[in-house]
Amino acid sequence: MLTEVVAHRGASADLAEHTLAAYQLALEQGATGLECDVRLTRDGELVCVHDRRVDRTSTGRGVVSVMTLSELDELRWGDEDKPGVLRLESLLELLTPGVRLFVETKHPVRYGGLVEAKLVALLARHSLARPANKEESPIVVMSFSQQAVRRVQRHAPQLPTVMLSGTRLAPRIGDYAGPSIERLRADPTYVERAGRPVYCWTVDEPEDVLLCKRLGVRFVATNKPAATLEVLRGT
């Protein structure tokens, strides 16, 4: 099985995570997948921020869900020239045939299902919520929450989903199992027992890339798309 490279938060080892520049670079490096985390602002906009707070990745301080889009837009993110938070909608514009966007919804409890509902509505506006073929869908939705995965399945049954799971065995829902690399290192039989294709995160070390390839992992999420592609091409 072909192992595809997903740029985790963009080419985030080279440029600041969740910035447009990091995603553009990932595509230039040859990644065929992009991964992002999404949260809702106080006024209901979907933005790409990993942490609950903006402190680590921007010039500001505060909690994303209690800030408005315009408040987030006043901050500088990473090394971007201009202030402005990355919207999920801007990433949709980067999609070209053969490129997939893996959207991870955070946080199922805080947002009470609103983030999945808003996500599906946005995808529907872009005609991306009902792909003809799940395997070729440009959008894949992921979560560590079973509740969130089930919500996406309910709102948009044609959208493929990844059940993320850290070091535990992923519950048997979703189209893909999403273990961490630590899990696969500890338990290489995981892939054959998963009963569906595997998306593994975060795979930055060459020996881990090779392990994933050997085990038949379908997607590897990495902060280093260029180096990961080089390892895969060399095998």
For the bound state, the minimum distance from the C-beta of residue 202 to ligand G3P, rounded and expressed in Å, comes to 6
Q: Does 164 bind ligand G3P (CB under 6 A)?
A: yes
Tell me the CA distances in angstroms from 25 to 18, 28, 67, one per residue in order.
12, 5, 29
Least distance (Å) between residue 130 CB and Ca ion: 24
Binding track, positions 13-42, relative to Ca ion; x by CB under 5 A:
------------------------x-----
Instruction: Convert residues 55-94 into a mask of x (bound to Ca ion by CB under 5 A) and - (unbound).
Output: ----------------------------------------
Query: Do the beta carbons of residue 48 and residue 91 sit within 8 Å?
Result: yes
Strand (E) or helix (H) holding 213: helix 206-215
170's CB contacts (< 8 A; 6+ apart) are: 163, 164, 177, 178, 179, 194
Whole-angstrom distance, CA of residue 192 vs CA of residue 197: 9
Q: Which stretch binds Ca ion (CB under 5 A): 103-111, 127-135, 172-180, 212-220?
A: 103-111
- Is 8 a catalytic site residue? yes
User: Residue from 4, 45, 104, 208 that binds ligand G3P (CB under 6 A)?
Assistant: 104
Q: How far apart are alpha carbons 106 and 141 in whole angstroms?
A: 11
Query: Which residue is associated with the tokens 């800030």?
Result: 67
176 close to 198: Cβ distance less than 8 angstroms: yes
Strands (E), 68-182: 100-105, 139-143, 161-166, 176-179
Q: Which listed option, ligand G3P, Ca ion, none, makes contact with residue 219 (CB within 5 to 8 Å by class)?
A: none
Q: Judged by CB under 6 A, how many residues of this single chain contact ligand G3P? A: 8
Q: Please name the residues in contact with 227: beta carbons below 8 A apart, sequence gap of 6 or more.
A: 204, 206
State which residue, 20 or 234, has the beta carbon closest to Ca ion.
Answer: 20
Q: Which of residues 216-235 bind ligand G3P (CB under 6 A)?
A: 221
User: Among ligand G3P, Ca ion, none, what does residue 164 contact (CB within 5–8 Å per kind)?
Assistant: ligand G3P
Site for ligand G3P in 176-215 (CB under 6 A): 201
Q: Which of 4, 17, 37, 116 binds ligand G3P (CB under 6 A)?
A: 37
From the list 89, 72, 90, the residue with the least C-alpha distance to 24 is 90
Q: Which residues bind Ca ion (CB under 5 A)?
A: 37, 104
Applying CB under 6 A, the residues found at the interface with ligand G3P are 8, 35, 37, 50, 104, 164, 201, 221
Q: Which residues are catalytic?
A: 8, 50
